[in-house]
Chain A
Amino acid sequence: MKSKLAEAAEKALVEATQRLSPEQRVNAFLAHCRLIMQLYEAGQKLRSHAAHSQS
């Protein structure tokens, strides 16, 4: 699939990162990974709760 909209969004993402200093990018990586793990763990809790409710 070739989409001008998707290409523009991709370009904007790279430009947004490059406006940060390298140090800020590494800190953003750490923040991003922490948030992803929190989302994952919240999902695990929800699935566990739903499984207990059904049993």
Chain B
Amino acid sequence: MKTKQSGESALLLLDVVKLLQERNAQYAVIGALAASVHGAVRASMDADVVLSVGIHEAKSLERTFSAAGFITELTVGDAEDPIPGLLRLRDLHDNRVDLLIGLRGMEPKAFSRVLEVPFQGEVLRFIGREDFIAMKAFAGGPLDLIDAARAISAAGHSLDLELVRRLAKSFGAAAAASLERLLAR
């Protein structure tokens, strides 16, 4: 593994992505790392990724990561949970990568709108800006809304309003209303 100390979840992510690519699993980096690309840099204990796989495949992925030396924990959400499952991967320094096993309301096309960013000689695929903003409006926590507002501010006039509104609507009425409040600022 590339990590040598705590605070290196971004490096652990590179090891995770290598295995995902070997399995041809579609992924997009979300969370604080994506916030750092789309808005402003902020620290986080973990790196978050959303996958385009089902729970059955997640169980197989867990075995793959475990065999590769990761500390793994797969939890399955209940029927109401917008996150169907979460595969948490850790190393011995307590760096962490959380793999979301899908996200209800997220367009499958989001994986074709990713932004490829070079990092440490590799390439990471980040969730697109409009998908990121809609997802954060849906998540709705205080930090999520700050991340969304910063991404909107950074985008300026280049933000695709039609797309971001459609994406927020796909997460539900509350996400759409939250987005409108952010756009009105």
0 or 1 for each of B33-54: is its CB under 8 Å from A? (1 = yes):
1001101111111000000000
Is B5 touching A28 in the complex (CB atoms < 8 A)? Answer: no
Please tell me the size bucket of the interface on B. Answer: 20 to 34
Chain B interface, DSSP helix/strand/loop, else mixed = mixed
0 or 1 for each of B116-160: is its CB under 8 Å from A? (1 = yes):
011100001010000000000000000000000010011000000
Kindly list chain A residues whose C-beta atoms are within 8 Å of the C-beta of B119.
Answer: 23, 26-27
Kindly list chain B residues whose C-beta atoms are within 8 Å of the C-beta of A17.
Answer: 36, 39-41, 154
Kindly list chain A residues whose C-beta atoms are within 8 Å of the C-beta of B36.
Answer: 17, 25-26, 28-29
Chain B residues in contact with chain A, CB under 8 A? 5-11, 32-33, 36-37, 39-45, 115, 117-119, 124, 126, 150, 153-154
Chain A residues in contact with chain B, CB under 8 A? 10-11, 13-14, 16-18, 22-23, 25-30, 32-38, 41
